[in-house]
Amino acid sequence: MDVTSAPHQIPPEMALYAERHRIFELMQALMEALLIYRPQDPVDFLIGHLQKDSDEVPRVFMLGPPASGKTTISRWLCKHLSATYLCPQDLMHDRKLKKSREVLACLAQQEPLSDELWASLLEERLSADDCVDMGWVLDGFPETRDQALLLQGRGIAPRHVIMLYAPDTVLVERNLGKLLDPFTHEVYHATFDWPIDFMVQRRLVAPEGISEPATASRLLESHRHLPGLLQAYAKSHKAIDADQPCVDVFAQALSFVQSRPPSKAPFLPRVILLGPPGSGKRLQAALLAQKYGLVSLCLGDLLREQVAGRTPVGELIAPFFESGYPVSDSIILRVLKDRLGRQDCLSRGWVLHGYPRDIDQAALMKHTGFEPNRVFFLSLPTEVALQRLCQWATDPVSGERHHSLFKPPADPEVNQRLRRNPKDRPERVEVKADLYHQQVRELEEFYEDGIPVNADQDPYTIFEHIESSLVKSLPARGP
């Protein structure tokens, strides 16, 4: 594009398509794969990479000191995500791998496996169909920074790295109570995780290297290599305290694994705020506009501007205002499409509140090409809405608004002359709230990525919730 002709009128359909299909992330993944593998035929390689469709499958390294719960959390993640479980012990005894003879020779001579051999085993195992199609969780490897750098050089890069940690006293106590099922390789604990099955209880054995001196030596080695591992995975790791119930550790690990890394794609916010009367839509829209420069749009204000300006569309709207009937959807859509198509909305983004009110209006808005990329549903009990709205009154002299609970007038004389807006009567607020609750279920189904927000709290707490969902990528959908 010629930069001298800016600003460019880019059709909104282009941005919608790019965001919906994650074109930027797709191109980024393809370029990364090209630079890592450096194939002789880039076109055929890219075609094969796209056919695998494996960019969204889990690729997880589970790291941490001995007895931190790596195996338990890894297996739980694999069961929940339908991913492949991998660990160094399985790689050593996998006879299907080409390097298995070298591994057996090293084991026979009681020699440690070289880092190159480990990397070759893992590289071959990760190329198998189950790992490519379903993803994988690698338990306990790499153990050193050199191993991590070697894996990176071979293109083995996890999407998420989980670092478990706990006090040494806790880890030693855990390790001393470990028991292993030699048939299933499940790890149990004599105190914290005793198996229910009597047959499993009978065949449990103590794993090798769990004595207190051996555990202390392994912990010392783990602490020595931890800073290097953190440096190797500085931008993709999450540290989780393992000194808490396993279910809590698993919940944090699962939340992290299911999150997407921050996207570097250009993002233009197009936000819709929906909620019953009194839920604070206008205030949240103003806060978003103030902090991020979005264009704040209220449908009622747009319609009133057309009437006040005596535009041709305003002349069509005026009879509806005079009669009290809702403005027809076709006129609303005409006004909305014109406003959203202006340069400020196209270049800065927008936040629209109070529209659409039902699924028909949402479908009509979608057909215009102006689709939101974030929809927030603000929930508020009707009794709280009545408390917020029905106790406002205006001073006819100063024009200042007062609330009998939150902002009462200090002067009794001012209190005497306050006037309430008929629109804030309890019966009218209840009707609007009931109408919203009748329509919101269908709107939630229409906007399946909609984000629920509890509006019965401090406005700035609500804004922080909305802001966090605005600046972060939406979580990946399940299959």
Q: Where are the domains of the chain?
A: 10-50, 56-258, 270-305+342-390+425-471
Q: What pLDDT is recorded for position 2?
A: 44
Q: How far apart are CA 315 and CA 326, in angstroms?
A: 15
Q: What pLDDT is recorded for position 203?
A: 85
Could you tell me the CA-to-CA distances from 349 to 263, 273, 289, 342, 462 in Å, in that order?
18, 14, 9, 10, 20
Confidence of residue 478 (pLDDT cuts 50, 70, 90): very low
Report the pLDDT averaged over residues 313-339.
88
187-196, 252-261, 336-345: lowest mean pLDDT where? Answer: 187-196
Q: What pLDDT is recorded for position 9?
A: 59
Could you tell me the CA-to-CA distances from 366 to 16, 200, 295, 356, 373 in Å, in that order?
11, 58, 19, 10, 11
Report the pLDDT averaged over residues 320-336.
88
Q: How far apart are CA 460 and CA 125, in angstroms?
A: 50
**Beta-bridge partner residues of 403:** 392, 407
> Can you list the alpha helix ranges (DSSP code H) found in 233-373?
246-258, 281-292, 299-308, 312-323, 329-340, 343-348, 359-367
Residues of the chain with pLDDT > 70, as a percent, come to: 93
Confidence of residue 12 (pLDDT cuts 50, 70, 90): low
113: pLDDT strictly greater than 90: no
Question: 428: Cβ–Cβ under 8 A, 6 or more apart, which residues?
Answer: 422
pLDDT in tens, 194-246: 788 888 888 888 777 777 788 888 889 999 999 999 999 988 899 999 999 88
Residues 361 and 332 sit within 8 Å (Cβ to Cβ): yes
The average confidence (pLDDT) of the chain is 84
Class of CATH domain 56-258: alpha beta
For residue 316, the 8-state DSSP code is H
pLDDT in tens, 276-296: 988 989 999 999 999 989 999
CATH fold match for the domains 56-258 and 270-305+342-390+425-471 = yes
Q: What pLDDT is recorded for position 453?
A: 93
Report the pLDDT averaged over residues 8-28.
72
The correct CATH number of 270-305+342-390+425-471 out of 3.10.20.30, 2.60.40.1730, 3.40.50.300, 3.40.50.150 is 3.40.50.300
Burial of 228: CB neighbours in 10 Å, binned 0-12, 13-18, 19+? middle
pLDDT in tens, 22-71: 788 778 778 877 876 688 888 887 887 777 666 678 999 999 998 898 98
Using a cut of 0.75, tell me whether the model's pTM lies above it.
Answer: no
Report the pLDDT averaged over residues 82-91.
90
Q: What pLDDT is recorded for position 350?
A: 93
**Beta-bridge partner residues of 451:** 376
Confidence of residue 4 (pLDDT cuts 50, 70, 90): very low
Q: How far apart are CA 352 and CA 274, in angstroms?
A: 9
The architecture in CATH of the region 10-50 reads: Up-down Bundle (1.20)
Residues 242 and 165 sit within 8 Å (Cβ to Cβ): yes
